[in-house]
Amino acid sequence: MPINILMPALSPTMEKGNLSKWLKKEGDKVQSGDVIAEIETDKATMEVEAIEDGTLAKIVVPEGTADVAVNDVIAVLASEGEDVKAAASAGAVAPAKPAAETPKPASTSAASAPAPAPVAAPASVPAPTPQANGHARVFASPLARRLAKDAGIDVANIAGSGPRGRVVARDVEGAKSGKGLKAPGAAPGAALPAIAPALSDQQVRALFPEGSYEVVPHDGMRRTIAQRLTASTQTIPHFYLTIDCNLDALLKAREDINAAAPKDKDGKPTYKLSVNDFVVKALALALQRVPDANVSWTEGGMLKHRHSDIGVAVAMPGGLITPIVREAENKPLSAISNQMKDFAARARARKLKPEEYQGGTSAVSNLGMYGIKDFTAVINPPHATILAVGAGEERAIVRGGKIEAATMMSVTLSCDHRAVDGALGAELIGAFKRLIENPVLMVV
């Protein structure tokens, strides 16, 4: 039976992608795990692997095609022993999309999502069809249904990552730990409604003389950022807490640590710590000391995380991305520093993998290098907090009744009031301040 290879959803918010390159040609043998194509999403360029053995019978979408919708047929694979020409003909006339609208992930969820959807799906998989009671039929593999039953989980409450939103075994395994569960009462594939702009394109352009501006089309990244942050500010009740931190002890410790760094074979230091590395470590440890703030809000219940997975905003042409330092509370400062340098380089080249920027329990946005004293950052779901970090600068402070000069840094914690109350947020930012001002606590 011919197998339709579908445009995969390589991130929770992906609706379209650019098929940049085919790495196999028609007639080539394909084995499960072979990289068959490269796809550009709003965040990165990623490789797509086959999940079935066979022969690439027909390429439906040529390389270089932009804005290919998720779940569109991009190629047809002939199964082992199947006539390739017959498979190409049969697969080519198979419907590329289900009759009903394909469920899509909500645009506000940036992480904690199930693994990316499989690349190939049998052409015979039926399309979801609305039932008489108004609810869409739940499609799940037999193994997934059995695992869900054994775990006592209603399969209808699990977000599917398989072809056409089908629930597969890995989705059930994720649901056991609270990942990929739909909110009670939510319709399958329900997403936040689109937000109408205050002014239309024509209304905005009418305010400026023709020829006085250049229209720069939005790319996928800019559209995704706009959708997520609009939804975040409209659906998450933000509140903000600002505190000043004395950096004098940290700057001295940083200088000593960097001076003692071992050299590699070329005589270069194996690491060079930045203030931001200390910030990431301090936030990770603060979340461990105030575990009730290390949470994510869901309608079904609070997800209380065991580890501190800290996202760090990295600027790149056209937008930003937030790679995640996993289990940052357990990593030495040197490891955090080197990992962030690697993330930043690959982020700017759009080479990060989805699992490297999806998820996280909190985040850091640092504009100190631009001289910004303080600012507020927008929470990136599923996080419940984000720390905005300003510049370290010399200020006059009063100590023991005397005015002294000290290097101070203002930080502002944005909190999701559904998950983190004011007193809890104050406890968290207070724990962060103690760690930043006493850096020895980060290494014991």
Q: Which residues are catalytic?
A: 417
Token readout for 41 is 């999403």
Q: Please say whether the beta carbons of 38 and 47 come within 8 A.
A: yes
Token readout for 321 is 């991305």
Instruction: Indicate the residue type of 216.
Output: V
Nearest-angstrom CA–CA distance, 171 and 144: 8
Q: What is the DSSP letter of 422?
A: H
Q: Please say whether the beta carbons of 24 and 48 come within 8 A.
A: no
Helix ranges (H only) for 59-141 are: 84-93
Q: What is the DSSP letter of 304?
A: E
> Helix or strand or coil: residue 370?
helix
Instruction: Indicate the residue type of 54.
Output: G
Q: Please say whether the beta carbons of 410 and 373 come within 8 A.
A: yes
Nearest-angstrom CA–CA distance, 105 and 328: 28
Angle between helices 275-289 and 333-348 (to 10 degrees): 110
Rounded to the nearest 5°, which phi and psi values hold at 295?
-135, 165
Token readout for 67 is 């804005």
Q: How far is CA 60 from the centre of its chain?
A: 29
Torsion of CA 303, 309, 310, 316, to 10 degrees: -110
Q: Is the peptide bond before 95 cis (omega within 30 degrees of 0)?
A: no
Strands 16-22 and 35-40: antiparallel
